[in-house]
Chains A and B, each alone.
Chain A
Amino acid sequence: MEKFKLKVFRYDPTKDDKPYYQTYELPVEKGMTVLAALFKAKEEQDPSISFRYNCRAAICGSCAVRINGHATLACKVQVKHMLEKYNTDTLVIEPTGNIKPLKDLVYDMDWVVDKLKKIQPWFIPKEEPPADGKEYRQDPYDHHKIDFASDCILCNSCMSDCNALKANKDFLGPMVISKAYRFIADSRDGAKRERLEAVLKDFNLEWCVRCMECTTRCPKEVQPYENIIRTRIIAAEEGFKSPGEIHAEIFEQDIYSRGLLNEMLLPMRQEGLLGAAKRAPFGIRMFFKGKVNIADFFGGHKVKRHDEVKKIMDKAKEVKKNIKIRLVSDVHTPYEDNRKSKQGG
């Protein structure tokens, strides 16, 4: 039978000065998940390997690890698929990134729970329950907004591969902001502003670098990245002026009033005179390269047929109020279907 190598990250702080890797050779069995392979190695070769597990059905969120550098649930992927995907005979199994390993593949979950607590990850009702003691009414459309977000199993796959969290350990991270979104977007919840303040604090919403690793890694289609963006939109709608929101507003004003961006005045409007002064040398270089128009300093020109741009924007604003956009609840399937058709099956 075909064999493969399972190369496992090993670290026991009570014994080892630093982590090392240990390799176990195993047969490639039909239907074998990576979690099953870890168990096989543990039960037949080395009982001292530690890893978390429970449901083995991708719903408890215990067994997130990095396989060849990318986070996933060990129970949810087939050994055979992974070997094919990475075109290799070796699977390197490491604990989730960005979070301190405690032993082997077991990481420090308490660190994550402490982060979660900062956004009050619990339902706070907007109003008293109905007098008849029955349920709060929720429109199916409103329910739909939080439906996929409440799929999160706290597995930390997104936290593991988040590039912003790698640069800044104080960043709340995609899982935590996505959890905040689940409550912020809940039509029954009454603590929207407090939660928004918590995620806006220390520029948490701005820290996201939009690399989309979180959404790509999420095993449950929770869409953490999209939820960060949705949270930013809700924050703007609620009148919070984050740097990103001010930036976006200036863009919108410019397009509305002249149909193109005034890059000359943008820094001044965004960061004030002092902030803009810091950028002056850069602006002067741009001017000499012909990248900005000095006339912009005095208001500048408009695009041709600007009135049509205005009309489009007015119309968009008008219909926006009445349109219910159904969020795509299944972002992976199109990729999956594409992949299948590419493979000719």
Chain B
Amino acid sequence: MLSYDVLIVGAGGAGLMAALEASKAKDVKVGVLTKVYPTRSHTGAAQGGINAALANFDPSDSPEVHTFDTVKGSDYLGDQDAIEFMCYEAPKRIYELEHLGVPFSRLPDGRIAQRPFGGAGFPRTCYAADKTGHVILHTLYEQCLKNDVEFLNEWFVTELIIDNNEAKGVIAIDIRSGEVHAIRAKAIIFATGGYARVYWVRNTNAIGSTGDGMAICYRAGIPLKDMEFVQFHPTGLRSTGILVTEGARGEGGYLINNKGERFMAKYAPQKMELGPRDLVARSIETEILEGRGWGEGMMAYVHLDLRHLGAKKIKERLPQIRQLCIDFEGVDPIEEPIPVRPTAHYSMGGIDVRDYKTSMTGVNGVFAVGECACVSVHGANRLGGNSLLDLVVFGKPAGAAAVEYARSKSADNFNLKAEEDRARREIEALLKKESKENINNIRMEMAQTMWDKVGIFREEKPMLEAIEKIKELKERYKLLAPGDSGKIFNTALVNYIELGYLLDLAEAIAVTAVLRKESRGAHARRDYPNRDDENFLKHSLAYYTPEGPKVEYSEVKITKYQPQERKY
């Protein structure tokens, strides 16, 4: 049986950062399990940049201002001690990344370049053209190769095994051979990314961003925190949902409605197009709902116009965005405005982390970092450029803490073999199963339900309908079969299991959203348009039960900044 001291599930920025840190301990056996090759992880798609108050561009910036911007951006739902930790660690982590070789864009004097980003008081976002996540991901992978980190590439975790509130291991499928394995591990770090794929096509995430780690932990009894908070990115391409980064607006792009107006003047007169994401997303959606967009229904859109920037600037500063529009939308931003509309982008919610310094959950030996975790530093709304930061700032200490934890544990005799045999029988039964139900139908119905009823604007009645619909889809899912009985590279089996994860998460989102009777950050209720600090300045915690999520609440950590109205 495969056995590790520290097992990291997921090899994006957070997982690799943890792996790199853990691999420095030579007395500890570290393994990284990932369902795609590490460089295929969704971190690579982060374009815009990573925030740190280096004050390279503007000397008056400081970690303190960064902290305040983040607290305010979170609509005061973020834990202020954790946010402060993140913002003060940020410069150190950026320099560390640079020392590992990340090719950041430079200022004329050779220092790391920084640019302005939504919701930030200063140009604070470090970047590498429009491929910041890509170069960070590749650099971390390269350093892991250097440190001889052991990778289990194209493995897929199906279960977390916990006994007596202690991590014992996981059940996983080796996609390449189709074999089902139990893997013994003292410490397990989940770094599996977000759940935006509950909105399936109307989202910016990779096809594999199916919230695996969250659903696995949830089913194993670990609560999910703040699941109702889904960030909608204001600008996804009309037909594919692929993200047009904030960089396009940061460089000076205009949002235009069908009257030819720069409509952000109405919603955020000072910041205009650089207002925080949830505000811009709601503004665009309002324009569309009130008939000032082009097109109809799900296909409606507004224009993101870059033409005034000129061909030279677009080619130099936004080459990837330009190529993206040509390839996926058939539009060259030098010649035409880009048709855009909001799409689901980021999961603020995630696995409930109890201690931000170690990223440990309520179960001993189970850690969570990155988008799949909820510390919470993003609260009700994440600022652009803070997600990559979250990965590296919390990934590193989690790696170190997992090593420490593993060292403190001696080998035990928990009977994982029995779990492995049971899981193998279950998978074998699945492969033999037959069904008339089609996976895509269930998935699309789930996405449509979530977009229409638990999307950008929310209201009690539609959300209750959504919960009923998800329950019905879960029943239909029980009758569904993977459809492929093959052994090797059976991606139909993987897709089947992923859909099960998504349905559980969709239910948790809808139930927590209905219970939060206020509007805060990305959670906008039409029936409760105001923030209600008296009743809802608290984190929601969804616990798994076979009948549906059971919701409890926990305190928000407030240190320096008392809640104020959030205005930009």
Contact = CB atoms under 8 A, between A and B. Distances in A.
Interface in B208-263: 208, 239-240, 242-243
Contacts of B207: 53-56
A43 B440 contact: yes
A188 B315 CA distance: 27
Contacts of B486: 12, 14-15, 48, 50
Contacts of B439: 43, 47
B526 interface: no
B265 to A, nearest CB: 31
B206 A55 contact: yes
A125 to B, nearest CB: 7
B330 interface: yes
A224 to B, nearest CB: 16
Given A12-B488, A54-B208, A77-B327, A151 B39 contact: no
Contacts of B557: none
Interface stretch (A59-67, A241-249, A291-299, A305-313): A59-67
A31 B139 CA distance: 34
Residue of A76, A104, A150 contacting most chain B CB atoms (<10 Å): A150
B453 interface: no
Contacts of A122: 101, 142-143, 145-146
A85 to B, nearest CB: 14
A150 B242 CA distance: 22
Contacts, number: 179
A153 B440 contact: no
A60 B492 contact: no
Interface in B62-121: 92, 94-95, 98-101, 103-112
A102 B154 CA distance: 13
B36 A54 contact: yes
Contact of A136 (B99, B131, B134): B99
B104 A58 contact: no
A263 interface: no
B330 A61 contact: no
Interface string A178-198: 000001001011000000000
B176 interface: yes
Interface stretch (B23-31, B41-49, B461-469, B536-544): B41-49
Residue of A42, A47, A78, A153 contacting most chain B CB atoms (<10 Å): A47
Contacts of A52: 36, 40
B88 to A, nearest CB: 14
B315 A333 contact: yes
B39 A60 contact: yes
Given A50-B489, A143-B105, A329-B319, A58 B44 contact: no
A61 B315 CA distance: 22
A109 interface: yes
Contacts of B129: 147
A102 B206 contact: no
B327 A58 contact: yes
Contacts of B94: 135
A146 interface: yes
Contacts of B135: 150
A121 interface: yes
Contacts of A143: 103-106
A135 B324 contact: no
B489 A140 contact: no
Given A44-B438, A62-B36, A139-B106, A125 B143 contact: no
A14 B206 contact: no
B490 interface: yes
Interface in B258-272: none
A129 B92 CA distance: 12
Interface in B127-147: 128-129, 131, 134-135, 138-139, 142-143, 145-146
A42 B484 CA distance: 10
A135 B111 contact: yes
Contact of A62 (B40, B146, B242): B40
A47 B330 contact: no
B235 to A, nearest CB: 14
B492 A42 contact: yes
B68 to A, nearest CB: 24
A61 B40 contact: yes
A140 B106 contact: yes
A314 interface: no
B240 A14 contact: no
Given A54-B208, A57-B45, A122-B143, A135 B112 contact: yes
B139 A60 contact: no
A330 B98 CA distance: 25
A120 B142 CA distance: 9
A154 interface: yes
Contacts of B176: 102
Nearest to A73: B327
A227 interface: no
A78 B240 CA distance: 12
A60 B36 CA distance: 10
B143 A123 contact: yes
A134 interface: yes
Residue of B105, B142, B330, B483 contacting most chain A CB atoms (<10 Å): B142
B489 A102 contact: yes
A183 B239 CA distance: 38
Contacts of A48: 483-484, 486, 490, 492
Contacts of B103: 143, 146-147, 150, 186
A333 B334 CA distance: 13
B41 A60 contact: yes
A133 interface: yes
A117 interface: yes
Interface in A106-145: 106, 109-110, 113, 116-117, 120-123, 125, 129, 133-140, 143
Contact of A137 (B92, B111, B438, B440): B111
B153 interface: yes
A330 B315 contact: yes
A54 B492 CA distance: 14
A274 B320 CA distance: 54
A137 B110 contact: yes
Contacts of B414: none
Contacts of B330: 31, 78
Nearest to B488: A103
B99 A129 contact: yes
Nearest to A332: B323
A231 interface: no
B123 interface: no
A163 interface: no
Given A31-B240, A59-B134, A123-B142, A104 B489 contact: yes
Contacts of A96: none
B479 to A, nearest CB: 16
A33 interface: yes
Nearest to A33: B328
Contacts of A103: 488-489
Interface string A22-53: 00000000110100000000111001101111
Contacts of A116: 145
Given A55-B45, A57-B324, 8 more contacts: A48-B483, A48-B490, A54-B40, A56-B207, A57-B243, A120-B146, A136-B99, A143-B105
Interface of A: 12-15, 30-31, 33, 42-44, 47-48, 50-62, 76-78, 102-104, 106, 109-110, 113, 116-117, 120-123, 125, 129, 133-140, 143, 146-147, 150-154, 183, 186, 188-189, 221, 329-330, 333
Q: Which 10 A-B pairs have the closest CB atoms?
A: A123-B101, A137-B110, A47-B483, A47-B492, A122-B142, A50-B489, A122-B146, A48-B484, A60-B40, A103-B489
8 contacts: A44-B440, A55-B44, A58-B324, A76-B327, A123-B142, A135-B94, A135-B99, A146-B103
